[in-house]
Structures are given as structure tokens and as C-alpha cells.
Structure 1
């Protein structure tokens, strides 16, 4: 009996030790009022955001950021709005004690937050993001003498672009004449995300770099995946791609 209890206790201890440690980065006060806070951005951190009923929280991403899309775990418990400047997100809780996650995608980076209502007596009125440097955090810009063409595809090949590439700041899809599909991002759950895009002739440009995209016309779908080791330095190829960029 004693040995059984010992083994059970040992198994429980090992299970607890092996469990992943979840840690959130808490913003710090910017001055005398703790309700105005800032946080240093890191692509691998989850930012803690304390909210309160009947209180609105503004998340300010800063100059040069433009929000492409926002994913919210519980849209019934929290009201989220992207302001017209495309660099500020408004968050307002609707249910007491609610908790959820939110992911913000910009043309430069991905920002992950854990949002809760009522966890702190001092909710955040304003959260300002700071960055370690002025360079994009999601991906390093490609050098002028290189382009990233590392993309694989699967699905309806009638929608396959002539070329797919990125320059470190934006992703380009060059389609054959007469093909005008819609380009979507794909989030971590496999859902399609609407993107801000621009079109010049047969080339579609979307800001930023994502691991997955989908190209769609009606029920026809082509899946695109960004793969490693796809950078080209071939001068002829780079000149061809640069001629399409805008």
C-alpha cells in the first residue's frame, strides 16, 4: 500500500514538473497614474491586459504600424474595435470575470495578448507598445539583392500564381492573365482571414509575411505555405520580380 502511494505521488510530481510554464508579460506604469501603461514588445511574449466593466482600454501600437486583422477568442465577452487610424485597438469587456486571448496582425509583426476582466483593481486605460528597435519584428527585410520565393502549394492548380514571393515587407502573388481570385491569410486554427490588399494589373500585394495563405474563387481553393530556405539571389529573377512590385 505504502509503495503504491509512493509511486502515485512520484508520478504526480513528475507530471507537474513536466507541465509547461505559462507566463504573461505585465505592462508597467508610464508615470504617476498606473492606469496608463507601456510594455516592451517581443514576438514570443503574451502581454497581460487587465480590463474592467464599463471601462474602455486603448491599445496603441505606435507610428508605422497598420493593423491587418484582429482575432478574438470570445467575441461575446469582449467588444473590440480597430480605430480609423489602423494603429489603435479599443477593448471593452461585457461579461464580469471573462478571460480570453487576442492576436493582432500588422504588416510588421504579430502581437499576442491575454485579456481578463476584474483580475486587477487597477484596469488599464491606455496600453502603449514599445519596440526594441525600429526594424520589423515579424521578419527581417530581404536585402535589395535577394527575394524570398520559398512557397509550396496544394489544391486547385488552376488558381496557381505564376510567381509568389516576398521582399521582407509584403507578399506578392502574380497571376496569369484573366485570373482574379481573392487572397486570404490563414490563422493558427485554419480559418481564413481577410487581408488588406492592393492590385496592379495581374499582381496582388498583401502587407506582411504569413506562414499560410489561401487563394479562392467560389468553391475553388489553392493553399499556399511559406517554406524555409527559399531566398534567391539570382539577378535575372530578382529584376523580374522587382518589375512587378509596387
Structure 2
């Protein structure tokens, strides 16, 4: 069971994702007037269809800060695949007419599933830009003096954080005394990923902002999800929180 499933089970909202999920293909849509540049929203339970053409290179661009670790291709004789030096973009070029193949991309944040086709449509595809729901919907702290305290907790444990907040650059976890759990980020597929963290007293500082975290000791875990509406510029609140930051 991944962290998203644990979160759903603890808060008892809805049905289990695995029992009700509907698997489908997602076809990229046009970004503007030129249909050769397209965009698609990532979903961990869907397959992204990319329509390619002979003698045309298609670039698949992932999210900012996402680095590709491995690419698996079903039909390596029908497609030429290259990961660019930025580790963020994949070049796809078919070499066989009417070819079709699956492709799986593993990154430092998630796993993406693709269906590659050749000649399925008349319109060439030059670029496919992947966007992510958490990046579109996650609240942002714009004012440098504001703090975002909008975090929802699921799970009970002695190491459950007393509070979680961010200053727009770092996320802070205030822990009970004498506990030192591990903090993980949660990727788009619902699995734990390592984060860059430092500790000072009872405060754990994690670089960057993510939509979901887990705080864990052994098999016990507390799930934390960022929600909208938590940003505040109240001087009293900002003063208390900033005094705990480092």
C-alpha cells in the first residue's frame, strides 16, 4: 500500500482507490494556435498517448526539477529514444511505419506510462509538455513575510508533528521532544522519496515545498497533505514561526 492509499484509509474518505480506479489513455491537447505543441496533465493511473510521425522528432518535456533515471521501451527496433543532457526531456523518433510501443519513464519523483504510435494522426507533434495537478493547485506563499500553515494530518503516533508550515522556500516540521522520525516526500505515484533535510532542536527543515509528506519511524507513519487556505501574514503568527526557523 502506498502513502496515498494509507492517507485515504486513515481519514476514511471515499472508496479504496484501487477498487474504483478507471484506467484510460490521456491524449495531449494543443497549447495554443499551433497544434504541434501539446500539453497533457499527468495522472499516475493513466497512460499518456503520444502520436509520432516518421522523420519527425518529438520532445517529451517533464516538470521542473524532475530528473529521468531510466527509460524502458517495449519495441526498441521501431523507435529511437534519447534522454537529453538536462535529464528532463526525452527525444522520441519512430523509424518504422505504423509502429506502436509502450514506454515507461522513471524519474526522481514519479513513474510515467506512455503509448507511442506512428502515423495515427495527420498533425505532427513536435513537443509534449507534461503538467502536474499538484503544481497547478498547490497554494503558494507570495509575500516574503507570510507563512503557510495549511497542512492536514492523518495517523496517530508519538512522533506526530506539533505543527507544519512553510515560508515559500522551506517546509518546517515541529516535532515533540526527544523524537527523531524520518521525513519523506510523496511522489505523484504515491510512493516515498528522499528529501534534503536538516535538524535543529525539535525542528526539521526540508528544502522546497511538496504537496504531501510522510513522517515515519519503522512501520508507523503519519501522513501530511498540503491544503489551500493556510497562508497568513498575521504578524503574531509570523513572529512565532520565524523564531523557530533556521
With the shorter chain as reference, the TM-score category is 0.5 to 0.7
Q: Is 1:155 matched up with 2:159? A: no
Name 1:193's counterpart in structure 2.
Answer: 192
User: TM-score, normalization: structure 1?
Assistant: 0.54
Q: Report what 1:25 is aligned to.
A: 29
Q: 2:19 maps to what in 1?
A: none
Deviation at 1:90, TM superposition (A): 3.7
**Could you tell me which residue of structure 1 aligns to residue 209 of structure 2?**
208
Alpha-carbon distance change, 27 to 98 in structure 1, aligned in 2, over 3 angstroms: farther
Q: Distance in 1 between matches of 2:242 and 2:104?
A: 38
Name structure 2 gaps, 5 residues minimum. Answer: 1-23, 94-98
Specify every segment of 5 or more residues in structure 1 that has no aligned partner in the other structure, as ranges: 1-19, 31-36
RMSD, aligned α-carbons: 5.2
CA drift at 1:151: 1.7
Contact 1:151 1:225 in 2 (8 A): yes
The question of whether the paired residues in 2 share the 8 Å contact of 1:101 and 1:113 is answered with yes
- Structure 2 CA distance for aligned equivalents of residues 244 and 51 of structure 1: 53
Q: TM-score, normalised by structure 2?
A: 0.54
Match of 2:140 in 1: 141
Equivalent runs, 1:1-246 vs 2, <5 Å? 23-25=27-29, 38-39=37-38, 49-50=50-51, 59-60=60-61, 65-67=64-66, 77=74, 85=86, 88-90=88-90, 97-99=100-102, 115-120=114-119, 127=127, 129=129, 137=136, 139-142=138-141, 143-187=143-187, 191-201=190-200, 202-210=203-211, 212-245=212-245
Distance 1:216 1:56 in 2: 44
Q: 1:227 to 1:185 in 2, by over 3 A?
A: same
In 1: Cα distance, 2:237 partner to 2:68 partner: 32
Give the Å deviation of 1:145: 3.6
In 1: Cα distance, 2:29 partner to 2:149 partner: 35
* Structure whose alpha-carbon radius of gyration is higher: 1
- Count of aligned positions: 203
**CA drift at 1:148:** 1.7
